[in-house]
C-alpha cells in the first residue's frame, strides 16, 4: 500500500463586495451622521414650518380683505406677541411671588403637617419622610440651579429667534419659497406635492386648534378649582396651567404643582382634595380629551396618538413630543397621497390613480416652460380640482375618472 496519501484539496471561499454596495453603505452611514449633526437645524425648520402653517391662513384672510401682505404679517405677529406678553405678565409675577412665599413658609407648613399627622397609626413613615425633606435654604438652591441653566436658556432663546425669523421669511415671500421647493422636485410629482402641502397646512391648523382646546380646558378648570378653595391669584394659576399644558406628559404635573402648593395653607385636607381633583383632570385629559380632540383634528386613532407621543418623547425629548402628533399625521398623509397600497385598499385606489394620471397629463400640458413659481401656482390649482373631484366621486365607483376640467390660467 502506498504510504503517500493524496493531499486533501483545499477550498478557498472568496467574498467580493461590489464597489456600488460599499458606496451605498458609506453613504447611508454618512447620511445618518449628518442627520445627527444637523438635528438642531431640522428642529428649527420643523418648528418654523408649524408656525407658517398656523399663521398662513390668517395672513391670506387679511390679504383677501384688502390688506397688503407685509402689513398682514405685522398685524398677525404683533397680535400674537402682545397676547403672549399679556399672559406672561398676568401669570409669571404672581406665581413667582407666591412661590417665594411658599418657600419661605415651607418649614412652618411641614411642622404643622407633622403635628396633624402624628395622631394616626399609619403616619410614622409619612412623618419621617416629611422630616427628611431638606426645606432649609431651598430657595437659594433653586436660584443657583436657575443661574446654572442660564446658558441653556440663552441658547434656546437664540434658537427661538432664528425660528421666528425663518417663519417670517417664509410667510413674507411664499411664492419664491414654494418655487424653490418645486424646483427641487421632479415635475411628475408636482401635483402630489401641492396636495401634500395643502394637507400639511390643514394638519398643522388642526394641531394648533386641538392644543388651544386642551389649554383652554385646563385653564378654566384650574381657575374654578382655585376660586372654590379660595386661593389667591386664580387667574395666574389658570394661565400658567394653560401654558404648561402644551408640554406632553410632564405639562400636567407642572400645571398641578402651583395649585396644590397654593392650597397647602388652607390645610392638608384642602391640599389633598386639590391633588385628587388635578389627578382626575389629568386622567380625563390624557384618556378622553387628547385622543378625541387630536384624533378628530389630525385624523389619527387614539392608539396612534399615544404611540406617537411616546416615540417622539423618547427620541427628541419635550420638543419631539410636541411635534410627534403633526409629524405622525403628516407621514400618514404622505403615504395616502403617494397612493401606497395598504392591505385591502388596492382596489379602492384605482380611481384615485386614474385621477392622478389625468391631473398630471393636464399639468404637463399647461405648465410646459413655466417658471418654478408659476408651476407651483398651477399645481396648487390642479390639486384643489383633484380634491374636489375625489369628494364628488361616488364611493361605490372607485374606477370612475374625473370629468374634463378647464386648465387653470398660467
Place of cell 374636489: 388
Tell me if 324 is assigned to some domain: no
pLDDT value of residue 234: 84
Q: Is the same domain home to 239 and 209?
A: yes
Residue 398: per-residue pLDDT = 43
Number of domains the chain contains: 3
**Taking phi first (over 0 means left), then psi (-120 to 50 degrees means alpha), and beta for anything else, what does residue 406 get?**
beta
**Length of the chain, in residues:** 410
Under DSSP, the state recorded for 247 is S
Residue 357 in grid coordinates = 394620471
pLDDT at 221: 93
In this structure, are 305 and 376 located in the same domain?
no
Do the Cβ atoms of 408 and 396 come closer than 8 Å? no
The verdict on 121 and 204 lying in the same domain is: no
Q: Which domain holds residue 265?
A: 187-309
pLDDT at res. 276: 92
| 154 within some domain | yes
- 156 vs 162: CA distance, rounded Å: 10
One domain, residues 145 and 255: no
Global pTM exceeds 0.95: no
Residue that finishes a domain, picked among 184, 209, 232: 184
Mean pLDDT by 10 residues, the chain (410 residues): 54 69 80 76 82 85 87 90 86 75 72 72 72 66 66 77 86 82 80 83 80 88 88 82 79 83 79 89 82 67 76 77 81 77 53 74 77 78 76 51 38
Among residues 360, 344, 345, which one has the least CA distance to residue 402? 360
Helix spans in 229-347 (H): 234-244, 251-263, 268-284, 290-298, 302-337
Same domain, 54 and 179: yes
Task: Please indicate, yes or no, if residue 2 is contained in any of the structural domains.
Answer: no
pLDDT for res 174 = 80
pLDDT reported for residue 82:
92
Under 8 Å between Cβ of 382 and 363: yes
Q: Are residues 350 and 365 in the same domain?
A: yes
Residue 248: CB atoms within 10 A of its CB come to: 20
Where is 157: in which H helix or E strand? helix 150-172
Give the residue from 309, 330, 347 where a domain finishes: 309
pLDDT per position as a tens digit, 26-48: 888 887 777 777 777 877 888 88
pLDDT recorded at residue 51: 86
My answer on whether 290 and 191 are in the same domain is: yes
Last residue of a domain, one of 309, 329, 361: 309
| Residue 9 is assigned to a structural domain of this protein | no
Same domain, 205 and 302: yes
Examine the domain organization and report whether 201 and 180 are in the same domain.
no
Answer whether residue 331 is part of any domain: no
User: 139 and 98, same structural domain?
Assistant: yes
Same domain, 177 and 211: no
Amino acid at each position: 500500500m502506498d504510504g503517500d496519501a493524496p493531499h486533501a484539496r483545499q477550498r478557498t471561499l472568496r467574498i467580493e463586495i461590489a464597489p456600488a454596495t460599499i458606496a451605498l453603505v458609506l453613504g447611508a452611514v454618512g447620511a445618518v451622521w449628518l442627520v445627527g449633526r444637523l438635528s438642531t437645524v431640522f428642529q428649527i425648520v420643523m418648528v418654523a414650518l408649524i408656525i407658517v402653517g398656523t399663521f398662513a391662513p390668517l395672513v391670506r384672510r387679511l390679504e383677501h380683505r384688502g390688506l397688503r401682505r407685509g402689513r398682514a404679517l405685522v398685524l398677525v405677529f404683533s397680535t400674537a406677541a402682545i397676547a403672549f406678553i399679556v399672559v406672561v405678565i398676568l401669570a409669571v409675577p404672581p406665581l413667582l411671588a407666591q412661590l417665594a412665599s411658599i418657600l419661605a413658609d415651607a418649614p412652618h407648613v411641614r411642622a404643622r403637617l407633622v403635628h396633624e399627622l402624628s395622631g394616626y397609626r399609619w403616619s410614622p413613615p409619612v412623618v419621617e419622610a416629611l422630616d427628611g425633606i431638606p426645606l432649609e435654604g431651598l430657595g437659594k438652591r433653586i436660584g443657583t440651579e436657575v443661574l446654572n441653566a442660564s446658558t441653556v436658556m440663552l441658547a434656546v432663546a437664540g434658537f427661538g429667534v432664528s425660528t421666528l425669523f425663518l417663519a417670517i421669511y417664509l410667510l413674507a415671500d411664499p411664492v419664491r419659497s414654494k418655487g424653490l421647493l418645486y424646483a427641487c422636485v421632479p415635475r411628475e410629482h408636482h401635483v402630489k406635492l401641492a396636495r401634500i402641502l395643502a394637507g400639511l397646512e390643514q394638519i398643522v391648523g388642526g394641531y394648533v386648534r386641538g392644543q388651544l382646546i386642551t389649554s383652554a380646558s385646563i385653564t378654566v378648570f384650574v381657575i374654578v378649582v382655585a376660586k372654590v378653595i379660595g386661593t389667591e391669584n386664580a387667574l395666574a394659576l389658570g394661565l400658567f396651567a394653560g401654558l404648561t399644558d402644551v408640554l406632553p406628559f410632564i405639562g400636567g404635573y407642572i400645571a398641578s404643582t402651583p395649585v396644590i402648593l397654593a392650597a397647602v395653607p388652607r390645610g392638608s385636607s384642602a391640599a389633598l382634595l386639590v391633588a385628587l381633583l388635578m389627578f382626575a383632570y389629568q386622567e380625563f385629559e390624557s384618556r378622553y380629551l387628547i385622543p378625541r380632540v387630536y384624533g378628530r383634528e389630525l385624523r389619527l386613532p387614539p392608539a396612534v396618538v399615544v404611540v406617537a407621543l411616546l416615540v417622539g418623547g423618547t427620541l427628541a425629548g419635550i420638543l419631539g413630543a410636541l411635534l410627534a402628533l403633526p409629524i405622525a399625521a403628516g407621514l400618514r398623509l404622505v403615504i395616502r397621497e403617494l397612493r401606497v397600497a395598504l392591505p385591502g385598499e388596492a382596489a379602492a385606489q384605482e380611481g384615485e390613480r386614474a385621477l392622478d394620471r389625468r391631473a398630471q397629463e393636464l399639468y404637463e400640458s399647461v405648465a410646459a416652460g413655466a417658471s418654478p413659481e408659476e408651476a407651483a401656482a398651477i399645481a396648487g390649482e390642479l390639486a384643489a380640482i383633484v380634491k374636489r373631484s375625489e369628494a364628488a366621486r361616488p364611493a361605490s365607483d372607485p374606477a370612475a375618472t374625473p370629468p374634463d376640467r378647464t386648465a387653470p390660467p398660467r
